[in-house]
Amino acid sequence: MRIERVALYRVAMPLVSPFRTSLGTEYERSALLVRLTTPEAEGWGECVAGADASYSSEYVEGAEDVLRRHLVPALLAAGTVTAPAVAPLLAGVKGHRMAKAALEMAVLDAELRTHGMSFAAGLGAVADHVPSGVSVGIMDSVPELLDAVAGYLDQGYVRIKLKIEPGWDVEPVRAVRERFGDDVLLQVDANTAYALRDARHLARLDPFDLLLIEQPLDEEDVRGHAELARRIRTPVCLDESVVSARSAADAIALGACQIVNIKPGRVGGYLEARRIHDVCAANGVPVWCGGMLETGLGRAANVALAALPNFTLPGDVSASDRFYTTDLTEPFVLRDGGLDVPAGPGLGVAPLPDVLAEVTRSVAELRG
């Protein structure tokens, strides 16, 4: 495809309620969107970088800067481009996986729309409906947590993930198990809040029959995760430690995980996410799709990815109203415990013009 222009939209999406993890509390989603135009089609991408650098070294202002100064100019100078060519084309810029992922997503969307093919079909999906789990943030009290979990189960979510941190771990998990029973699919996410010295404490979670404990240790401590996996019965799932197919293969070889959470916007894009899926499948390691408060654009792509065959655990592909009163696109609605995979060309969704205009704070356009 020949790319004519790329527009970068800074948007602010208020959350329906504050979302607290061990890293802090979010009140709105400050997102960066990529709108790419070719003579044949238009493509959209979404950057998952946060408002600050507390989760990752990438943050939204930095992502916009590297896109404007380095990544988009390289793409425009290439003349013609295909989605598989984006990563090699941008390889001269070190890191910045979230920014690169947004640009690749927009190229892939435009390419698939040109050919009348859905994102799901392009990635190799095998399902048209995927089970949906929900991530429940840290609360001020256990009764508040129990009310929140009850509400999500009543809505039909098939899996509950509890955010945990030191001081908010064993007792909340115990309370949820006692209130809702052993049949509820339950897992926890530590967001790197613990160290290997906490292994004995984390082993206190073993009796609760959790699906997994996600990223308990620092993202660079892969050997520590391998040792932790030997000390606890709860399966260890890696998230932030897995940044590529190569890192996934290394972690699996070291015994650092039994499960992998794939966040495509964090690993460099949906094509690398598919490669991680394939590496895990080849090694008998199940995967699930994580979420990063995406708008309907990123949500559509995540649902398509979650329809690949080795996504055998429910992911954080929740309905739009889990985070937004009004989504950027037509809302994703929970049905039969999951979400329908968009079947239209490309992402199958696009921003609603009135909503986009309301939430946009700035637009920068670059032309070839």
Task: Just list the catalytic residues.
Answer: 163, 263
Q: How far apart are CA 211 and CA 230, in angstroms?
A: 16
Q: How many CA atoms lie within 13 A of 47 on its CB side?
A: 32
Q: Quick one: 367 exposed, middle or buried, by C-beta within 10 A (0-12, 13-18, 19+)?
A: exposed
Q: How far apart are CA 344 and CA 35, in angstroms?
A: 18
Is residue 268 within 8 A of residue 87, CB to CB? The reply is yes
Q: What is the CA radius of gyration of the chain?
A: 20
Q: Phi first, then psi: what are they for 220, rounded to 5°?
A: -90, -5
Q: How far apart are CA 122 and CA 10, in angstroms?
A: 28
Q: Residue 12's beta-bridge partner residues?
A: 30
**Hunting for tokens 């709108």 — which residue is that?**
35
Q: Quick one: 220 exposed, middle or buried, by C-beta within 10 A (0-12, 13-18, 19+)?
A: exposed
Q: How far apart are CA 260 and CA 167, in angstroms?
A: 25
Is residue 48 within 8 A of residue 89, CB to CB? The reply is no
